[in-house]
A and B are shown apart, each in its own frame.
Chain A
Amino acid sequence: MIRIALGAVVLLALPFALSQFWTFIAIEALAFALYAVSFNVLLGYGGMLSFGHAAFFGVGGYAAAILLKKAGLPPTLAFALVPVTALVVSALFAALIGVFSVQRSGIYFAMLTFAFQMLLYTLALKASSITGGDDGMTGLKPPGALAQPFYYYYYALAFVAAGLYVLYRLVSSPFGFTLRALRANPRRVQYIGVNVRAHQLAAFVASGAFAGLAGSLFALSSGNVFPGWLNWTASATPIVMAVLGGVHTFLGPALGAAVYVVLEVLISGKTEYWPLAMGVIIVALVLLMPEGLSGLRRKTA
């Protein structure tokens, strides 16, 4: 409890200590923290490895962009509707993809989510009258003072905190414990009479919805969305974040997201070969740190 209060104080004070650039990066870290935790509800709790989660982050981003640019609503009203729209639209897409994907498990589930994500990616790329095609959609801006990173940070923080709270309640509910049991042994859970597929689908929809919310928050901060957000290489990002932070803790992936975002800024500022550096870091992570950063802490404690 003390640790959470301390964390809240630090997060609330952060924009006062940071330059505008780093406040912008902090917003990115917040959005990706929600993204990584929502992803980890599937992986860490449900034992379901989605390799298509960028689809929902991207759908959330596009939902926000289309609402602001194409719906013809007054800007303030459109902006106010962004979070709920992103949640609902991503949830719908997650339900559609989930219905087919949860029929399989393990690595096959990963491949199915990958496949559907690529379908959405090509749609984003080709349906240029709606999505702007290759050029994506640019010039997205929150209204008024929120256009400044300082204020938008608090706006994003409120939604990320709310999202994390809902997800936390979800994984600590009986539903969350059924999910954990499913990770350990789906067959046994089925024998007790639990509808395994329905539980997995529900987790998939919840996870996709909050990934979409995270995408919409980031879209309004960065000011644009691109088809690359839904590309398969983007789907590795939440996995790296979750594994980096540790998949067996609720907030581990959020920590992993923050570290990842900062690392990316630092490395890509130094060399154009940041993918190479990132690749080496991932290999080291996989071979040397089986429990992520939260595992390190446990070892030293």
Chain B
Amino acid sequence: MIDFVVQHLAWVQNPVVVARQLLAGISNGMLLFLISAGLSLIFGVLRIINFAHGAFFMIGAFIAVSASGLAPGGIGGFAAALLGAAAGLALLGVALETGLLRRIYRAPHEYQLLLTFALVFILGDAAKLIWGREDNSVAVPEMLAGATRALGLTFPTYRLFLIVIGIGVAAALWLVLHRTRWGVFVRAATMDRGMLSALGVNTRWLFTAVFAAGAALAGLGGALAAPIVAVGPGLHVQVIIDAFVIVVIGGMGSVLGALVASLLVGIVNAFGILAIPGAAVVLTFALMAVVLIVRPHGLFGTPE
């Protein structure tokens, strides 16, 4: 037992390993933030648990695969893929919200749950029909490939890029939510939708916009993840679980909570892989269970 612990914790004394895992954890956390921020916002405003959010992420990644087939390696093509994934998923979000979700806001919870769950099946199989069943890989664009030296250590440049993008998106989200009229409506809607509607705000289109924005963030996350994950039809299943764990830990409806919990889960996973190889995922759920027991409404959630 002692031998096992010593053997698996030897890396603690190695600053290079610790720094590299920390960076990997933070950059993965940023990807998780992109998907969980949308999930959390949608829950906060629409009061719907969108199980299809992982499928949005996967479709974003598949769009990046298609784009890299058209223009491999170039930074221009990659940027176009990111924008295309975000725009494509926003459109899909508008279509799904206006065509389906809008009909069931007044229905019992189990109907809402089943509807987004059915979308997981439908989108998952649709992706198989369009992109096939194989795992695809996307090359890191040349400009972001290679390593960068910082603090006397070398880091993969793409990981640093992900962190920069994640910080950028978090800052942009904060600005939109706290410095624009639309953001005021969104925050008001998470507190009291009925009151907001009574005050004359068109909540119908607010809901559509929030759902589309959440879908776009997930699509962007998927496209950004494409160069560092295997893009295949099973991608959405693991991603949605991580996103749920994060939303539960951070507090449902809180974007700040999603950010903190994403980084926490990303880092716990990165070190968990070293500490208990093969069973790191247990740590994530244990973390969630502890948070739920100590703070049932999550780190930044408000009691209903």
Pick out which of these stretches binds chain A: B99-107, B212-220, B222-230.
B99-107
Least CB separation from A287: chain B residue: B103
Q: Which of B7-66 contact A (CB under 8 A)?
A: 47, 49
Expressed in whole angstroms, the minimum distance between the Cβ of A131 and any Cβ of chain B is 13
Does B176 have its Cβ within 8 Å of any Cβ on chain A? no
Q: In the complex, are the beta carbons of A110 and B49 less than 8 A apart?
A: yes
CA distance A285 to B103 in the complex (A): 13
Q: In the complex, are the beta carbons of A115 and B282 less than 8 A apart?
A: no
Interface string of B114-130 (1 = CB under 8 A from A): 11011111101110110
Q: In the complex, are the beta carbons of A111 and B244 less than 8 A apart?
A: yes
Report A-chain residues with C-beta under 8 Å of the C-beta of B252: 108, 111
CA distance A118 to B245 in the complex (A): 9
Does B304 have its Cβ within 8 Å of any Cβ on chain A? yes
Give the residue among B113, B118, B120, B286 with the most A Cβ atoms within 10 A: B118
Q: Which of B216-264 contact A (CB under 8 A)?
A: 237, 241, 244-245, 248, 252
Pick out which of these stretches binds chain A: B85-93, B187-195, B199-207, B289-297.
B289-297
Q: In the complex, are the beta carbons of B248 and A239 less than 8 A apart?
A: no
Report A-chain residues with C-beta under 8 Å of the C-beta of B83: none
Q: In the complex, are the beta carbons of A240 and B114 less than 8 A apart?
A: yes
Pick out which of these stretches binds chain B: A8-16, A99-107, A257-265.
A99-107
Report B-chain residues with C-beta under 8 Å of the C-beta of A100: 292-293, 296
Which single member of A107, A233, A285 contacts B47 (CB below 8 Å)?
A: A107
Q: In the complex, are the beta carbons of B109 and A106 less than 8 A apart?
A: yes
Q: In the complex, are the beta carbons of A107 and B49 less than 8 A apart?
A: yes
CA distance A43 to B279 in the complex (A): 34
Does A232 have its Cβ within 8 Å of any Cβ on chain B? yes
Interface string of B264-289 (1 = CB under 8 A from A): 00000000000000110110011011
Q: In the complex, are the beta carbons of B111 and A286 less than 8 A apart?
A: yes
Chain A, interface size category, equals 35 or more
Which single member of A103, A115, A275 contacts B121 (CB below 8 Å)?
A: A275
Q: Given A247-B110, A273-B129, does the pair A115, B104 have CB atoms closer than 8 Å?
A: no
Q: In the complex, are the beta carbons of A280 and B49 less than 8 A apart?
A: no
Report A-chain residues with C-beta under 8 Å of the C-beta of B111: 243, 286, 290
Q: In the complex, are the beta carbons of B115 and A282 less than 8 A apart?
A: yes
Which single member of A119, A233, A280 contacts B286 (CB below 8 Å)?
A: A119
Expressed in whole angstroms, the minimum distance between the Cβ of B107 and any Cβ of chain A is 7
Least CB separation from A99: chain B residue: B293
Q: Which of A166-187 contact B (CB under 8 A)?
A: none
Report B-chain residues with C-beta under 8 Å of the C-beta of A116: 289
Q: In the complex, are the beta carbons of A43 and B115 less than 8 A apart?
A: no
Give the residue among B49, B111, B114, B248 with the most A Cβ atoms within 10 A: B114
CA distance A14 to B228 in the complex (A): 54
Report B-chain residues with C-beta under 8 Å of the C-beta of A161: none
Does A236 have its Cβ within 8 Å of any Cβ on chain B? yes
CA distance A128 to B234 in the complex (A): 22
| Interface size, chain B (Cβ < 8 Å) | 42
Q: In the complex, are the beta carbons of B100 and A283 less than 8 A apart?
A: yes
Main secondary structure of the interface of B (DSSP, over half): helix
Report B-chain residues with C-beta under 8 Å of the C-beta of A106: 109, 304
Report B-chain residues with C-beta under 8 Å of the C-beta of A282: 114-115, 117-118, 121
Report B-chain residues with C-beta under 8 Å of the C-beta of A115: 244-245, 248, 285, 288-289, 292
Interface string of A279-293 (1 = CB under 8 A from B): 110110111001000
Give the residue among B109, B237, B248 with the most A Cβ atoms within 10 A: B109
Expressed in whole angstroms, the minimum distance between the Cβ of B123 and any Cβ of chain A is 8
Q: In the complex, are the beta carbons of A283 and B109 less than 8 A apart?
A: no
Q: In the complex, are the beta carbons of A110 and B109 less than 8 A apart?
A: yes
Q: In the complex, are the beta carbons of A123 and B114 less than 8 A apart?
A: no
CA distance A280 to B122 in the complex (A): 7
CA distance A123 to B293 in the complex (A): 19
Report A-chain residues with C-beta under 8 Å of the C-beta of B126: 276
Report A-chain residues with C-beta under 8 Å of the C-beta of B241: 118, 232
Q: In the complex, are the beta carbons of A126 and B110 less than 8 A apart?
A: no
Expressed in whole angstroms, the minimum distance between the Cβ of A130 and any Cβ of chain B is 13
Expressed in whole angstroms, the minimum distance between the Cβ of A250 and any Cβ of chain B is 17
CA distance A106 to B115 in the complex (A): 17
Q: In the complex, are the beta carbons of A122 and B282 less than 8 A apart?
A: yes
Interface string of A181-213 (1 = CB under 8 A from B): 000000000000000000000000000000000
Does A49 have its Cβ within 8 Å of any Cβ on chain B? yes
Beyond A122-B279, A278-B118, 6 extra complex contacts between A and B, CB < 8 Å: A112-B292, A122-B282, A123-B282, A236-B114, A273-B125, A278-B121
Instruction: Give residues in B with beta carbon < 8 Å to A.
Output: 47, 49, 100, 103-104, 107, 109-111, 113-115, 117-122, 124-126, 128-129, 237, 241, 244-245, 248, 252, 278-279, 281-282, 285-286, 288-289, 292-293, 296-297, 304
Instruction: Give residues in A with beta carbon < 8 Å to B.
Output: 43, 49, 51, 100, 103-104, 106-108, 110-112, 114-116, 118-119, 122-123, 126, 232-233, 236, 239-240, 242-243, 247, 273, 275-276, 278-280, 282-283, 285-287, 290
25 A-B pairs (CB sep. < 8 Å): A43-B110, A49-B109, A103-B296, A106-B109, A107-B47, A110-B109, A111-B252, A115-B244, A115-B288, A116-B289, A118-B285, A119-B285, A233-B117, A233-B237, A240-B114, A273-B129, A275-B122, A279-B118, A279-B122, A283-B119, A285-B114, A286-B115, A287-B100, A287-B115, A290-B107
